[in-house]
């Protein structure tokens, strides 16, 4: 269970508070107007921003003192998910060993995961040689290799076309379902939330509201969400 207990985030004149929990294995959409703090919430969970109050726990373990790389989570950013000077295999290998000292079996695993996300045989390529969709797949593949119980998606597929984005989300669904990974996904598209998430967190007006079942939330939107949706 991911729990946020009275978490308060303050950055200059920006405020955000959250006080709720997500059950393990849930798929959660984080939706809200831009600038409301969706990304900030994820960055705080990932350890790049320290909350000024409250605590965050994963299965009762306090995340606060844990450095970003050691937290039980993987994060995909909007861009810059791969190092341009490393090959695809090397980028993925970092998911297994941050020192990039992999055994033969571990390299096999890297190549297997590449195949799993549809990038078979592209391990030697540099990121600059890949398309946007392929870059997203590669980043996802590394998250799979890291095999952390929590996956944070900060709109990594925002730049992709609808069909490609749907394909990527399906891939996320498929692969995380196998491992029972808890997924938090920032999105500004209600369709993504409906398609992907059983729970949705609305971030608006300085508050990240407690998650509610997605269908129910959209059927009966609170005023802030209604305003965002233009209803």
Which residues here bind other proteins, judged by CB under 8 A?
43, 46-48, 67-70, 74-75, 77, 79-81, 83-86, 90, 94-95, 98-100, 126-128, 142, 146
Min separation Cβ 41 and other proteins, Å: 15
Residue 159 or 210 with smaller CB distance to other proteins: 159
The rounded distance, in Å, linking the Cα atoms of 101 and 210 is 42
Q: Which is nearer to other proteins, 17 or 90 (CB)?
A: 90
Least separation, in Å, of the C-beta of 219 and other proteins?
Answer: 36
- CB nearer to other proteins: pick between 116 and 142: 142
Q: Which is nearer to other proteins, 31 or 139 (CB)?
A: 139
| Cα–Cα separations (whole angstroms), residue 145 to 110, 138, 197, 230 | 7, 11, 23, 40
Least spacing, CB of residue 13 vs other proteins, in Å: 20
- For other proteins, the closer CB: 128 or 219: 128
DSSP-derived 3-state class of residue 136: helix
- Going by the DSSP 8-state scheme, the letter that residue 211 receives in this structure is P
Name which of 68 and 223 has its Cβ closer to other proteins.
Answer: 68
> Least Å distance between CB 146 and other proteins?
8
Two tokens, residue 74: 């993987």
Query: CB 108 → other proteins: shortest distance, Å?
Result: 20
Residues 6+ apart with CB under 8 A from 115: none
Which 8-state DSSP code applies to residue 149?
S
- The DSSP annotation for 17-66 comes to EEEEEE-TT-EEEEE--TTSSHHHHHHHHHTSS--SEEEEEETTEE-TTS
* Minimum distance from residue 67 beta carbon to other proteins (Å): 7
Report CA 82 to chain centroid distance, whole Å. 15
Torsional sign, CA 80, 86, 87, 93: negative
63 neighbors 38 (Cβ within 8 angstroms): no
């Amino acid at each position: 269970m991911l729990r946020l207990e009275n978490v308060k985030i303050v950055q200059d004149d920006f405020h955000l508070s959250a006080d709720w929990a997500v059950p393990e294995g849930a798929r959660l959409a984080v939706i809200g107007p831009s600038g409301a703090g969706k990304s900030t919430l994820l960055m705080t969970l990932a350890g790049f921003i320290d909350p000024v109050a409250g605590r965050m726990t994963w299965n009762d373990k306090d995340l606060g003192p844990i450095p970003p790389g050691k937290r039980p989570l993987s994060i995909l950013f909007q861009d810059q998910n791969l190092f341009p000077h490393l090959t695809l295999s090397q980028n993925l290998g970092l998911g297994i060993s941050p020192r990039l000292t992999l055994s033969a079996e571990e390299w096999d695993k890297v190549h297997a995961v590449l195949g799993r996300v549809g990038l078979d045989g592209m391990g030697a390529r540099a990121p600059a040689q890949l398309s946007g969709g392929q870059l997203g797949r590669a980043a996802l593949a590394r998250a799979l290799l890291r095999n952390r119980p929590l996956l944070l998606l900060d709109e990594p597929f925002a730049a992709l076309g609808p069909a490609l984005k749907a394909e990527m989300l399906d891939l996320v669904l498929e692969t995380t379902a196998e491992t029972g990974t808890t997924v938090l996904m920032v999105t500004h598209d209600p369709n993504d939330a409906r398609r992907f998430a059983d729970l949705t967190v609305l971030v608006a007006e300085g508050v990240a509201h407690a998650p509610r079942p997605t269908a129910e939330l959209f059927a009966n939107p609170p005023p802030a969400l209604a305003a965002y949706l233009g209803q």
